Chains A and B, each alone.
Chain A
């Protein structure tokens, strides 16, 4: 088999094991949808000042939960799964075979991006069907580009975090502890209308808020341009590059026991 076929085959096997592992599939797929339903029940009919006009709570939540879905399928999923696979020796075993290392990692990353896109499609369709969220068509290219930049950057950050996590026991605490607080200060769970300046500042440093903002811009019903939020995309890409650098420095194949 040539290497491209091998890499493709890794994606197929990643996909098979993903859906057969109920906890992983549940947390990655069901949790974002639960958040979407809960937030819409609570705040779906609120009027929120956003995007240079007034939008329904539902229109606010769709891009935010789309961002959350991508982050949970890429960053959370990869950081957890890779550190567990490393400590179980799966990475070391793969390293002892002729499979090129890039093909192994490609399988994980490509699968995470595919799951991300699937989740976003479900979230957007859910919003459109049940909550009358208007899906913009003229900014669709910007929406897709933003999704790809976000998924790529958060995959890189997931690999970086897997490199930094000392052991698989620590993985859930480190991964959730690093991402959950950011969801609260990044315009995802709650609109940041009257937040103190320092909270806004912290949110602006990390890529989560830039991701939800960039998706929001590309989902804005009042947007007249192409919908690209270049500043946010730039910050996300920069974080992605930091992720690649950290992963290259700290990623290991051998268990840390």
Chain B
């Protein structure tokens, strides 16, 4: 078995009274895409910045590619690529110049044209950075992270602010990196992103890991299906009144036996000639699991 790319034991970071990271354990295998999920302020960025060497930890064991990132070793930086949140780039260089500047810092850089192709900035290669759109700048951030052909790439909320097409492009790119054997450590608050990309996911809330595993397994823990429909008039129908909840004018039922439950509901409705408006049957998503575990409100997730 190869050594894990990242191994963290009882990591803690406190700011005065606040325990931003409150004793977490993580292990990321080499070649894996790992996603750290959590609402804003849960400790995601603090954790990833400790792993990158940008922040000092209060206590705990951290090993990244066999190095302690807190020691700021050059041999460590040679092997990792870091894509921070919202970081500026020198505005008066062109895309190609910026990539060359950063390639020069590493012992074994990727070819420039290959980097530009991976991030899809071929048409912008000779444009000044200041002329790029927000999404293009974000892709340049990723390009800089790839400059040294890293074994391990940190991506801190890589698609925040992307439009849906750009997000799909970024996902494609991350899949390609995965296929090329890179280890990717991703933070995100987009559940769909984690569900589609990650081999394994850890959910962090209030500085603690509250769930960890493959997305399918996390979802599998909740074997439930959600059935919802508009309130037919006077609240949930008699047969399901005990187990249903009301949410925004909808009757919502969570069940392990969706077929049986639908049969009860539709029989009841057909007998009385009631139409169940907006009837929906949906499997549990990672987002449902996440919301349940983090206690986050809907807005926090979407934002």
Contact = CB atoms under 8 A, between A and B. Distances in A.
Given A97-B77, A98-B74, A90 B89 contact: yes
B84 A100 contact: no
B92 A97 contact: no
A207 to B, nearest CB: 31
- Which interface class (under 10, 10 to 19, 20 to 34, 35 or more) fits A? 20 to 34
Interface in A94-129: 95-100
B268 interface: no
Given A89-B84, A93-B144, A100 B77 contact: no
Given A98-B106, A99-B105, A16 B87 contact: no
Contacts of B54: 92, 95-96, 254
B92 A21 contact: yes
Contacts of A13: 90, 93, 97, 101
Contacts of A20: 92-93, 128
A17 B93 contact: yes
Grouping DSSP codes into helix (H, G, I), strand (E, B) and loop, the A interface class, with mixed when no group exceeds half, is helix
Contacts of B77: 96-98
A57 to B, nearest CB: 38
Nearest to B74: A98
Nearest to B102: A97
A43 B144 CA distance: 53
A1 interface: yes
A101 to B, nearest CB: 9
A98 B148 contact: yes
Given A16-B93, A97-B102, A98-B106, A92 B78 contact: no
A6 interface: yes
A6 B87 contact: no
Given A17-B92, A17-B93, A89 B104 contact: no
A4 to B, nearest CB: 13
B179 to A, nearest CB: 25
